[in-house]
Chain A
Amino acid sequence: AQSVTQLDSHVSVSEGTPVLLRCNYSSSYSPSLFWYVQHPNKGLQLLLKYTSAATLVKGINGFEAEFKKSETSFHLTKPSAHMSDAAEYFCVVSERGNTPLVFGKGTRLSVIA
């Protein structure tokens, strides 16, 4: 069975400082991994995805994530936070050939001016 654990329910950073949102996954197969962002009262927007190509994945808005199989981690980072980054972030896993996405519980990112 596949699962995702987001290690922090809430992260608060100052504008211009680095962002780190942590995610660990469990999967019986080679997984596909995603990060989605959700702004209030909005749907989910794909930030980036890993599908067994390069382990360092670059996404939109300056975000990137590194797949580390030995640590079963897929942490999301950004060098410099912007006020508009404040939102809920979801780490997501999906096993090859299996269609439903399995979401983590989410990490709420606050950005302080």
Chain B
Amino acid sequence: GAGVSQSPRYKVAKRGQDVALRCDPISGHVSLFWYQQALGQGPEFLTYFQNEAQLDKSGLPSDRFFAERPEGSVSTLKIQRTQQEDSAVYLCASSPGTPIGPQHFGDGTRLSIL
């Protein structure tokens, strides 16, 4: 497709389960970003990749959060031992490269932890 694709669109998990969220960026885009958007809030930065290199992970809230982009294209955000406060929309964005943006966003994955 032409845009950023995220799957699944909705994910419900029980507290303590592990989840994996997928992002398929626009073809050829070098930079990939993950953001977390809590209900009623603006998105907050989680982590950033340039190709396969994770250049910034300062926004990851705990060591339960892990992201990878092994071949410099598709990225996966993994959350281990989920907790209720992890419930949010997780947005992925990609951009052609440096300098910055604009970033093109996917529709997000809405994660609900019961």
Query: Chain A: residues with CB nearer than 8 A to chain B?
Result: 32, 34, 36, 41-46, 49, 90, 94, 96-106
Contacts and interface: CB of A to CB of B under 8 A. Distances in A.
Interface residues of B, number: 28
A36 B101 CA distance: 12
Nearest to A49: B102
B62 to A, nearest CB: 18
Interface string B59-84: 10000000000000000000000000
A96 B43 contact: no
A104 B107 CA distance: 19
A90 B93 CA distance: 15
A106 B105 contact: no
Contact of B59 (A45, A90, A100, A105): A100
B42 A99 contact: no
Nearest to B59: A100
A44 B105 contact: yes
B106 A104 contact: no
